[in-house]
Homo-oligomer: A and B are copies of this chain.
Amino acid sequence: MLQRISSKTVSAREVRPALAALQPVENATLALRVYRGLREMLMAGQVQPGQKLTLRELAGALGTSPMPVREAVQRLAVEGALEALPNRTIRVPVMTKTRFREVRRIRIALEGLAVEEATRHLRAPDFARLEKYNGEFTRGLQRRHPDLSRVFRANKELHFAVYEAAAMPVLLGAIESLWLQIGPVLYLSLRTRADYRGRSPAPDWHSRLLGALRRRDAVSARRALEGDLMSAGEQILAEGELPE
């Protein structure tokens, strides 16, 4: 969360139609690209919780000097996606069950607020996109061998499409930070399961959520979101093999 503020200068493509073909050039700092790379790696669950990381090792793998890695790692540590131990070593945080439950409660508070607020902002054209994401999600789950990374992406896009509609940037940043902490565990714990089919939550919380949003029923929308987070969380707690 909290990338650099996006540039507000008028882009040239709008001024000169002849230059419309120009792609925006990559302008980000090296540290920012390293940050995004590590972030992806974490959210995709490609590193084991508790694993120790060294700056030089990461720098070597990424082909940079340790400097930008330092910034990126430090940033992820502030967000809770990595852990800076007092020994001055860095490791992937271990998500305990109690910690998972705590994050779930915070998520219900914050994402519930976002859903309530989004109820007042969502317009008809928005729902097309929401339905599309929800379709990808449910269809992905019904496949014989679900591509979990696609399913998770659709789930994330659905949730954040709603949250962004709330138009509360600070809140959005806080929610993203929590997803970053939960992401690796979520993916890892579900990836270990052989069969995910038929486990779609008994009440289809996503559809209930979208229905409530269409009716501008903030209370029901919040309740549907709570159901979604609680039931998904119970699956993780039951089968995710979290310590403690």
Tell me the complex Cα distance, A173–B88, Å: 20
Q: How many copies does the complex hold?
A: 2
Q: Quick check: is A58 within 8 A (CB to CB) of the other chain?
A: no
If over half of A's interface residues share one DSSP class (helix, strand or loop), that class is named, otherwise mixed; here it is: helix
Contact with B along A96-129 (1 / 0, CB 8 A): 0001001101100110110000000000000000
Task: Find A106's partner among B1, B75, B105, B110 (CB 8 Å cutoff).
Answer: B110
The answer to whether B1 touches A78, judged by C-beta atoms less than 8 angstroms apart, is: yes
Number of interface residues of A (CB under 8 A): 39
The answer to whether A83 touches B5, judged by C-beta atoms less than 8 angstroms apart, is: yes
The answer to whether B174 touches A181, judged by C-beta atoms less than 8 angstroms apart, is: no
Tell me the complex Cα distance, A7–B88, Å: 11
The answer to whether B75 touches A7, judged by C-beta atoms less than 8 angstroms apart, is: no
A7 cross-chain contacts in B, Cβ below 8 A: 86
Knowing A110-B109, A110-B110, A113-B105, say if A86 contacts B5 (CB, 8 Å).
Answer: yes
Q: Quick check: is A84 within 8 A (CB to CB) of the other chain?
A: yes
Q: Quick check: is A77 within 8 A (CB to CB) of the other chain?
A: yes
Q: Which of A54-96 contact B (CB under 8 A)?
A: 70-71, 74-75, 77-80, 83-86, 88
Task: Find A71's partner among B2, B74, B112 (CB 8 Å cutoff).
Answer: B74
Q: Which of A2-22 contact B (CB under 8 A)?
A: 2, 4-7
The answer to whether B6 touches A86, judged by C-beta atoms less than 8 angstroms apart, is: yes
Nearest 7 A/B pairs, CB to CB: A7-B86, A78-B78, A109-B109, A102-B168, A109-B113, A4-B86, A4-B84
Q: Which residues of A contact B (CB under 8 A)?
A: 1-2, 4-7, 27, 29, 70-71, 74-75, 77-80, 83-86, 88, 99, 102-103, 105-106, 109-110, 112-113, 168-171, 173-174, 177-178, 181
Q: Jot down 17 A-B pairs with beta carbons below 8 A, ordered by A.
A: A2-B78, A4-B86, A5-B84, A5-B85, A27-B86, A71-B74, A74-B75, A75-B75, A78-B79, A80-B173, A99-B170, A102-B170, A105-B113, A106-B113, A106-B174, A109-B110, A170-B181
